[in-house]
A = this chain, B = another copy of it.
Amino acid sequence: MTKPEKHTIRAWTRLVRAHNMARGAIDQALKGAGLPPLEWYDILLELERAGRDGLRPFKLQRQLLLPQYAISRLLDRLADAGLIDCRSCNEDGRGQVAILTDEGKKMRARMWPVYGDAMQDAIGRHLSTQEAEQLGNLLENIAER
């Protein structure tokens, strides 16, 4: 075993705790405002970026680091809520395409102020601009590919 050194353990422990606290605060803010959970936001954002052509589920899967079945069930609920449109793909008979509806666009727009507020309160408030930049850089080493 390659034993992790003290500072690695401390960094990981703090990482978990910081993530839990921020995520918990954001979840609570969204729920308190009667809005959908954060996972929905991520998908809505990706689909908005993709524009009118939409996105294939397996692209979302890679972007969001979720297993295939999770995407499948999430898209189901989003379609039930009328936030996306699911069509079968022309170029590949196996595939689907998810496209954001107008309602989906509106929902993402309604979520952002609440999400952003909570993010600022949980993260931004505690860091200077320089520290936030440093943190982003350090985490990128871990999160890249």
Instruction: Give A contacts to B, CB under 8 Å.
Output: 1-5, 7-12, 14-24, 65, 113, 116-117, 119-124, 126-127, 129, 131-136, 138-143
Contacts and interface: CB of A to CB of B under 8 A. Distances in A.
Contacts of A18: 15, 139, 142-143
A136 B18 CA distance: 10
A8 B123 contact: yes
B5 A124 contact: yes
A65 B10 CA distance: 17
Q: Interface of chain A, helix or strand or loop or mixed?
A: helix
Contacts of A142: 18, 21-22, 122-123, 126-127
Give 5 closest A-B pairs by Cβ, nearest first.
Answer: A8-B124, A14-B139, A7-B132, A17-B143, A18-B143
A132 B8 CA distance: 6
Given A4-B116, A21-B65, 17 more contacts: A1-B113, A4-B119, A4-B120, A7-B133, A7-B136, A8-B123, A11-B139, A12-B22, A14-B135, A16-B23, A18-B139, A18-B142, A21-B143, A22-B142, A131-B138, A134-B134, A138-B138
